[in-house]
Amino acid sequence: MKILLADDEVSITATLEDDLRDAGHDVVTVRNGEDALVALKQGGFDVVISDIAMPRLKGDDLLVQAKALDPSIVVILMTGFGTIESAVNAMKAGAADYILKPFHNDTLVASVARIGEVRALRRENEQLKQELEEVAPKHGLVGSSPAMRELHRLVDTCGRSDASVLITGETGCGKEVVARAVHAASSRRTKPFVAVSCAAMVPTLLESELFGHEKGAFTDARDTKLGRFERANHGTVFLDDIDDMPLETQVKLLRVLQEREIERLGGTKTLKLDIRVVTATKVDLREWVKAGKFRQDLFFRLNVINVRIPPLRERREDIPALAKHFARVHSDGRGYEFEPGAFEVLKAGKWPGNVRELEHAIERGIALAGEDGILRAENMIEGGAPVSVPSPSGGMTLGAFVEQAERAFILETLRAHDWRKAESAEHLGISRKALWQRCRKLGIDVDSE
Nearest Cα to 186, choosing from 277, 298, 310, 279? 277
**Is-contact 152 122, C-beta < 8 A?**
no
pLDDT digits (tens, 9 = 90+) for 189-225: 999 999 999 888 877 788 888 888 787 666 676 777 8
* Topology annotation, domain 314-442: Helicase, Ruva Protein; domain 3 (1.10.8)
Residue 439 or 222, more confident? 439
Amino acid (1-letter code) at residue 240? D
- Whether residue 393 has pLDDT greater than 60: no
**pLDDT tier, 398 (very low <50, low <70, confident <90, very high otherwise):** low
> How far is Cα 34 from Cα 223, in angstroms, rounded to an integer?
88
Residue 242 or 128, more confident? 242
pLDDT digits (tens, 9 = 90+) for 117-130: 888 888 777 776 66
Residue 107 or 416, more confident? 107
- Whether residue 280 has pLDDT greater than 50: yes
Q: How far is CA 201 from CA 175, 198, 208, in A?
A: 18, 6, 10
The domain 2-127 having CATH identifier 3.40.50.2300: the answer here is yes
> How far is Cα 26 from Cα 65, in angstroms, rounded to an integer?
22
Reported as half-sphere exposure (CB side, CA atoms, 13 A), residue 91 has a value of: 10
Strands (E), 202-328: 212-213, 225-226, 236-240, 261-262, 271-272, 276-281, 305-308
Nearest Cα to 261, choosing from 225, 303, 211, 215? 211
**pLDDT tier, 131 (very low <50, low <70, confident <90, very high otherwise):** low
Per-domain boundaries in the chain: 2-127, 140-310, 314-442
- Whether residue 447 has pLDDT greater than 70: no
Amino acid (1-letter code) at residue 10? V
Residue 106 pairs with which residues in a beta bridge? Answer: none
CATH number of 140-310: 3.40.50.300
Q: What percent of the chain has a predicted confidence (pLDDT) above 90?
A: 42
pLDDT digits (tens, 9 = 90+) for 307-361: 999 999 999 999 999 999 999 888 877 788 998 888 888 888 888 889 999 999 8
Q: Average pLDDT for residues 258-262, to the nearest whole number? A: 90
Comparing 63-67, 210-214, 405-409, which segment has the lowest mean pLDDT? 405-409
What is the model's pLDDT at position 438?
84
**pLDDT tier, 449 (very low <50, low <70, confident <90, very high otherwise):** very low
Question: What mean pLDDT value characterizes the chain?
Answer: 85
Residue 271 pairs with which residues in a beta bridge? Answer: 262
Comparing 12-16, 137-141, 412-416, which segment has the lowest mean pLDDT? 137-141
What is the model's pLDDT at position 385?
46
160-165 contacts at long range (C-beta below 8 A, 24 or more positions apart): 161/305, 162/186, 162/276, 163/304, 163/305, 164/257, 164/276, 164/277, 164/278, 164/279, 164/301, 164/302, 164/303, 164/304, 164/305, 165/277, 165/278, 165/279, 165/304, 165/305, 165/306, 165/307
Is there a common fold for 2-127 and 140-310? yes
